[in-house]
């Protein structure tokens, strides 16, 4: 059972990494789940303090992931229309375009990055904003999206390091 949980932990980290980039998959919480899976084995144990600290960081990053793009859009002069447009653009860029078979760029990277930008711009223009304000809002949305994604990826890389390192140690001791 321990080896099954270890393999599952690695799979969960990989899915978590994908979820850090693609919306709809809770990447950061899945990555934390990988730590718990290893902790539930007889071969790998983490201290309560380590699990609490990494859990708190997980919750903070998950909350910030929702707050930072909105903050970025507002910080650069965006309105609710720009924020909604950014969210719709992200969904269209990540889910709708690939579903239609339209993949622009490697692995839909254009949709992931360009969707929120274009969505914020269109949202602001629909709300009646002039071009320069719409572009500023779109840029803010883009910066917010990148910041949130960066935080999630860093967390996943750190936790992924612990997962892989601890599994390697178990196999070396066997």
What crossing angle do the helices spanning 2-21 and 131-173 adopt, rounded to 10°? 170
What share of the chain has pLDDT > 70, as a percent?
89
Q: Tell me what pLDDT residue 76 has.
A: 86
Confidence category of residue 83, pLDDT binned at 50, 70, 90: confident
- Over the stretch 89-116, which tens digit does the pLDDT of each residue have? 877 776 666 555 555 444 456 666 777 7
Q: Tell me what pLDDT residue 107 has.
A: 46
- Over the stretch 1-10, which tens digit does the pLDDT of each residue have? 889 999 999 9
What share of the chain has pLDDT > 90, as a percent?
44
Q: What is the mean pLDDT of residues 124-138?
A: 88
- Integer Cα distance of 120 and 124 in angstroms: 6
- Integer Cα distance of 35 and 99 in angstroms: 33
Contact 122, 92 (CB under 8 A): no
Q: Which residue has the higher pLDDT, 96 or 149?
A: 149
């Amino acid at each position: 059972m321990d080896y099954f949980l270890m393999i599952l932990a690695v799979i969960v980290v990989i899915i978590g990494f994908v979820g850090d980039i693609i919306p709809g998959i809770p990447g950061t919480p899945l990555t934390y789940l990988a730590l718990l899976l290893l902790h539930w084995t007889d071969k790998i144990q983490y201290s309560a303090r380590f699990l609490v600290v990494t859990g708190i960081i997980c919750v903070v990053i998950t909350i910030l992931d929702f707050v930072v793009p909105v903050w970025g859009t507002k910080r650069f002069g965006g309105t609710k229309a720009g924020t909604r447009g950014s969210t719709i653009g992200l969904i269209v860029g990540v889910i709708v375009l690939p579903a239609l078979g339209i993949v622009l760029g490697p692995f839909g990277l254009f949709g992931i990055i360009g969707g929120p930008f274009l969505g914020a711009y269109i949202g602001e223009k629909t709300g009646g904003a002039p071009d320069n304000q719409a572009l500023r809002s779109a840029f803010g949305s883009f910066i917010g999206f990148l910041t949130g994604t960066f935080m999630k990826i860093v967390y996943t890389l750190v936790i992924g390091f612990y997962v892989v390192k601890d599994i390697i140690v178990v196999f070396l001791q066997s």
